[in-house]
A and B are shown apart, each in its own frame.
Chain A
Amino acid sequence: MPPRTDANRPCPLRPALRYRDRVARVLDLGPRARLVFAACWIVAQVALVLTAAGRPDGAFGFRMFPEASTIEIHLQRRVGDRVVPAPRGEWSARDTAGQLRHFSWHDRVRDPVLSVLDERRFASYGADAQLDRLKRALDDVSDHVPDDAETAQLQADVLVWRNGRGPETIALLGHPRSVP
């Protein structure tokens, strides 16, 4: 270890920076950092805004009140070669032991739009945003009913009124489940 010299000794006139001062120095950007930060910020914001149309919910794009669309979701199940309704998102099915069990869409889906079934509902952030979320919700619920040994696939028939026009019917499918 080299011997300590005067150059290594703390200067008595410049006491070590306190924590608060150190943090303040990080927040008080220097001249070059200001330009770099501002350039990155503006580029990122502009990129997020310009690419918002590519995201169904327009996230990070500041698209306020994009639509006045409504949707009505009807949940169904594919059991064998039949499609049976699941009114209000409730259904009963047998497990692998043959025991009859009750299942509910609402056990997993609490979102204020997607949790309302068989009723017309305002589609926040637009119909496409809600359809995209609904597809994911179908997959999620499909993955979280392991005791349902009957339902091969969940399906949602959605009536969509885009800004008052329609309705058009769109069928969304959850991913297939392996059932005995």
Chain B
Amino acid sequence: MIGAALRHWRDEVGDVTALGAVRVALGLMLLHGAVRAARELSAGYFGDVFHWSMLPEALVPSRAVYTVLVAALGLLAVLVVAGLRSREAMLASALLGTYLLSCDRLQFHHNRWALLCMALLVSLSPCDRTFRIGGASAPAVGPLWPVRLAQLQVSIVYLASGGSKLFDADWRGGQVLLERFHLYASQAIDAGVPAGILAWLSHPDVTGALAKLAIGTELLLALGLWLRRTRWIALALGMIFHGIIEVTARVEGFSWLMLASYGLFFLPELGALRARFGRHGGPPVK
């Protein structure tokens, strides 16, 4: 039975039309990361000051090499977005990005690592057949095993995040959220949030309930996106969840990454939508 399930997972094919859209979204995020790295480089090269390499120091690139690598990251991201040698470019982006991330742990952020993981997995899928510049789109049916693995990666992110909070008494009890509200209350008021709402949110009972809600949401998203019955509910919940995160915290592109990754769970629906409204109408060729 396990063997049959593994064979099914390994050999499954399906509509991959919308994978191109996921690729473009990831490409834009990779491009944003390259631009950010270039901006930071213009302010100073990280290797000239205190940094913490996970690799032997001899493997940290010099300023000149790093400059070239950042430019390469930008070029690769453009290729990913344009759909030109996009799978190779995406794989190279993921590997190069991981290398650079390893060169300075001070620059490590979970969202950056998550993006590189997703880029690597999606590069193994036939994501280059649609949403590309020039050339006719190839038949939009392809192997789904990398998509399933990327979906699993989304669940791993939610499970790890929600699970670590669940086992942390301060998080579970609302102390972390309570302190965050205290720390950022003045900024929120400056941004127009009514003080009365903040005062209510800053009550320990409320933060305790919100913490449990946040943990429950993350764990639910890890599972709910997989099930046909709960997928749309999970999508709505995820959009609200990440919308709140986006307006209340600085998480770089994390929210956008997770929302783009939701597309992996809706490939048939998105493919049908594109067939209905796009240039390449008609059912997918099996």
Contact = CB atoms under 8 A, between A and B. Distances in A.
A164 B202 CA distance: 13
Contacts of B168: 66
A20 B79 CA distance: 14
A62 B157 contact: yes
Interface stretch (A2-10, A30-38, A85-93, A146-154): A30-38
B133 interface: no
B161 A64 contact: yes
Contacts of B11: 31
Contact of A133 (B88, B106, B114, B164): B106
26 contacts: A24-B87, A27-B87, A27-B124, A31-B10, A38-B149, A42-B152, A46-B156, A49-B156, A58-B164, A59-B113, A62-B160, A62-B161, A63-B110, A63-B160, A64-B161, A65-B165, A66-B171, A67-B170, A68-B179, A107-B49, A140-B50, A141-B50, A163-B170, A163-B179, A164-B175, A164-B178
Interface of B: 6, 10-11, 44, 49-50, 52, 85, 87-88, 91, 105-106, 108, 110, 113-114, 117, 121, 123-124, 126, 143, 145, 149, 152-153, 156-157, 159-161, 164-165, 168, 170-171, 175-180, 182-183, 249, 251, 254
Given A62-B114, A68-B179, A109-B49, 8 more contacts: A38-B145, A45-B156, A61-B160, A63-B164, A64-B161, A67-B176, A140-B50, A164-B179
Interface of A: 20, 23-24, 27-29, 31, 34-35, 37-38, 41-42, 45-46, 49, 52-53, 57-70, 107-111, 114, 122, 133, 136-137, 140-141, 162-164
